[in-house]
Structure 1
Amino acid sequence: MSRRVLLLSSALTLCAGLLGTTPAAASASAGVAVSVAKVRATPAKQSGACPTTVGFSAVLSAKGKGTVRYRWVRGDGSKGAFKTAKVRGAKRIVVKDRQTFERSTSGWQAVQVAGRKGLSAKARFTVTCAGPLIVYDNRHPLPPSGETAPVEAAASVTASPASHNGACPVTVTFTGTLQVSRVPAKASYQWVDDAEGESAPQTAEFGRNDPRTRTVSLTLPVTNSRSGWKAIRVLGEHGHDSGRATYSVTCQRQESPVDVAVEAEWTEYAGRCPTTTNIYGARLKAKTGPLDVTFRWLDDKGNAGEVQTAHFTKNREVRYADSLQRGYEASAEGWHGIEILTPVRHVVTYPYRVTCDQDEPAIRWANLPIPYVEHDDCGNGVQYGGKGRIELPAGPARDLSWTVLFDGVRVDTGTLTFPGGTGTRYDVTPSVLIAELNKSGTHHVTIRAGNASMTTRIVLVCV
């Protein structure tokens, strides 16, 4: 018999109740028209001391309602990180990037919009380095200047570890050394990253009795193999930029004696904010026993929970971490996860993306489908059930279309007629849809209402 999973289609029933504020999330929207113009490098031609930086900018014009995801693509094959902009009506966005160069070079950068073919026009640039590379650091201090001379400032950066080959996650620490030619002084600077571009400017103040050197630092949690660099750009006419502090992380996966599954209420959300998601207690299953496992919650921002211990007395025994609830008041994306500390260190993550839109409904689960199922008799069918909930804010009467999708395929659709007035709640009540499955796998259920949506990941493991 083929494996079958019973999933939700939907009938909609109106439930009384006032609306509380709730979530929002979306990816690049097909309802937004986008064009990119005025792609420029500043300066396009540069000759002088190195290291130096080149800035890049473009004007992204968007019209419609939804979100746009974009990134910078470079002639050397590297790519920046995707960034997101929310659009309602007509909007012009100036998008920027900056790169540090240590030697003479030429190339180009262009903007890529997710979901659309091709690139924007290319901003071409040329850097010609005059003389040897000069970086002022602890071994090569910036010379002092007289009281009447302009204040000069310089920076250097190191990465530690610069190279890592082993268990992940690992934290790379970037330590910057700022120097000024005399005190008192102020030095304005910004971090430059190969993927993220330039940070917001920062200022270091040096008092009259302070040393001419100041240390600043950044940390970068790395969970997967990657390489890159960071540098410091010193702002102002008399600034000397740092070189690139490069790093390379190669994650070696060791066989772990414990299987970990982390699931949550949803992976993507678009709608009203603030909203919450429940991250269900990570499921830990021992491959051998007896066994002690230490672990903690972790996220991509570097936040870590308290260390917990699970004791397993035998093989295939299961333990659960405490569940978490996370709230979001603004658009965000990243991951939550469980970091196994011992006996073999590794991280299992669960991604999320939130796109807040206060004019859209909020979508939640009234009764959540079980997000992780381990079943020993898939041939007889595994039944998932759930009840979605669509909440509309107070406002004028309106019709609202809704759709339920399973793995991107529409399984039900309809229209809500909202009478207006106070906030109203609609429940999405499951009926039965049979989806034929041939093996264990990961599936996604999405509820859409207008431009709001919620997507939940469901994992079926047939044992």
Structure 2
Amino acid sequence: MLAAMAAGLVASPAQAATAAAAGKATTASGAKSAKVSVTAPAASSKDYQGSCPVKVNFSAKIKVPVKGKTELAYRWLHGDGSKGKVQVVKLKGHGTKSVTVKESVTFKGDVKGWEAVQVLGPKKVTSKKGYFSVSCVDLGGVRTDKDVSVSARAWADPSSYAGPCTPGDKIDFTGLISVNQPTWVRYRWILNGDVVDHGKVKVWSKRKVGFGISPRHSQRGWAQLEIVGPDDALSNRAYYKVWCKDSTPAPAVKVSATDLVTATNNIGCKVGAHANVNATGPARVQWTWAVNGESVLKGESDFSTSGSKTVELPERALTGEAAKGGKITLTVTGPNNSDSITQSYAACEAPKPTASVSAVSVSGTRNDMCKDNRGPGVDFSATLHSTGPTTVKYYWVVNGVKDVNVLERQVNGDLAVTWGVGGTHNSKETKGTIELVVVSPNAASSGVANYSATCPAPAAA
């Protein structure tokens, strides 16, 4: 009645042991008094009706208190009176461990019965019986979910081709085989009604197969994937179209030079430039920079396809007549032509003087204002600096308020300038912020400085 029996565990791999050995199973911490429990086995199909043979899976859960190392020994009990092999699971740790045990039984005919699990150690206990039944039914060719089912789908990539019909695959056909359970599948490809390819593959869930064609003349048609075993199936028809035509020779690659820009740097009297090198296709382009007709730099740029690349002429010093202005030329040479572009550059000019200013400092106080119930007056000084003779325009900012007067001084090097403020009314202290701002020949600032001055205490009577 019971056939093809197999047992397995979710926990550690089981080890075979004799019943006598199982009876001696102990724990490192004396688990003989531990409480062990086991659930009644549950069947995957408690009351099965359908085609046979059929495999029924049983499982049960054993709970074992563990303290240290423990060996769990158990076996399956069957409704026909037979007993399974003793299995041993080694456990370690602390607390209650849960172990799920499983077995599978294949039945070829009708049966009603039960399964149970008997724990032999660390403490002997037997589960309640888990009942089940199997009723084998002749389905007379009716398919069930137990039967292998295969389906197929096909497509062409590309589905349309126009171009030279030279050797090599132009249309590729791909088929997707799907199965409801792992199986070997035999298939064949049909092209316009003729078998052109076949094979056998193992399919676990889905798998692609394919072939390609290299047409030598214009045509249209279809391909179809046929499943010939273990099931019969046909995919959809994958339609395709081919138009054979002569290829047009690619135009000759042309090169050019564009967008030349020059720049004169008056500091050190130097000139530099940059421009674009262009190609209409794959090419190696050689280029040459020239200043006033004299070659000064050469190089090359490689193009894998059409495009533009920027090339630069690093700054170089100008002397003599070249410092008075001139021309820069970029010449490019490709596999089929040459091109050049020229641009003037400006003469060097002496750099214009620039101005800067030191921080503002308090240069003195005027305590005479203290007699008028005011704080002392405060005088300030700062130093203007220029890199050459120039007119410096500036103004003072007191307590965040700009003075209305813009002052001018001729500066060639360093020049001290001063400013003053009156004492604060009805106060013995004068305080605030002071700043000097340069507006020409360039912008500069001393930065904002805080100041404070207090009237001296009156002399003792």
Same fold, judged at TM 0.5 (above):
no
- With normalisation by structure 1, the TM-score equals 0.26
User: Which protein is bigger by CA-based radius of gyration?
Assistant: 2
**Structure with bigger RCO (C-alpha 8 Å, 6+ apart):** 1
- With normalisation by structure 2, the TM-score equals 0.26
